Amino acid sequence: MLLSASITSLEKLDGWSKVVGPSINPTSPNGYEIVPVPGGLKLFCCGPKYSGWLAKHVAPLVYPFQNVWMAYTLTIDDATLVCAQVIETDTKITDADGFTYDLSAQWNLAENWMFQVDTVDGHWIDTGIQIQALKPGVPAAMSIGYKLDYKNKVSSVVCVVVDGKQYTVPAGLGGIPAKQSGWGPNGVVTQLQQCINGQEGAYAVTFSSIRYDFAGA
């Protein structure tokens, strides 16, 4: 029997926290904030070049689902196209044994909106998937598909969907080993990260309708 579950309207839930420091980014921004707005969260960042921070939320994983989708609507402001290096969406899922499956992905604006995934050694790698730059003030519906193998302790980012168009991540970029990295067991950690590009500046992005859909035998 196929089981399923969802976490909806994550942006409305309590528990979002702001995280800065060397483990997130070598350079901290001068200002950063999570601002609740109707239907979403506006993230603001200002600071020197290559500074960054993230907004974090932790929710329980009620069952070890093998197939996971993270969906959200992203709206950028005018300054994003000038000041942003990347817009990063990290999903970290922990199993009952305390292993963390790192399903980090990002849009690299400095590389013409290249979709990148994290690798086992912590380096970003191009997927070959690029989209046209988003238009400021125009919401874009996005979702990212993940596959988890709890028996072999590996996971993959398998696809990304932008406004209904699906792009497949090359299979050779998957199979990233899970790690026992100190996260609590049976959890879904969401991290929304901003990073300034090679010049000092400030920009804001809004995430709305944030949800997870889970499925598995």
Domain extent, residue 74, equals 3-216
Alpha-carbon dihedral of residues 65, 66, 72, 78, nearest 10 degrees? 140
CB-based contact 74:86 (threshold 8 Å)? no
* Model confidence band, residue 120 (pLDDT cutoffs 50, 70, 90): low
Is residue 217 over pLDDT 80? no
Eight-state DSSP code of residue 109: G
Strand partners, 98: none
The predicted model gives 83-98 an average pLDDT of 96
> pLDDT digit string (tens) for 4-42?
999 999 999 999 999 999 989 999 999 999 999 998 999
Mean residue pLDDT across the chain: 95
Which whole-number Å values give the CA distances from 153 to 86, 100, 103, 156, in the listed order?
28, 9, 13, 11
Which whole-number Å values give the CA distances from 1 to 4, 71, 184, 216, in the listed order?
10, 24, 28, 9
Identify the pLDDT of residue 122: 72
Identify the pLDDT of residue 129: 98
* Model confidence band, residue 183 (pLDDT cutoffs 50, 70, 90): confident
Is residue 1 over pLDDT 70? no
* Model confidence band, residue 145 (pLDDT cutoffs 50, 70, 90): very high
Length in residues, the chain: 217
188 — alpha (psi -120 to 50), left (phi > 0) or beta? Answer: beta
Percent pLDDT > 70 in the chain is 99
* Model confidence band, residue 119 (pLDDT cutoffs 50, 70, 90): confident
42-46, 113-117, 179-183: least confidently modelled range: 179-183
pTM for this model (two decimals):
0.95
Number of domains in the chain: 1
Is residue 68 over pLDDT 90? yes
Better-predicted residue by pLDDT, 120 or 165: 165
Q: Nearest 5°: phi and psi at 141?
A: -85, 125
CATH number, residue 206: 2.60.120.200
Helices (H), the chain: 80-83
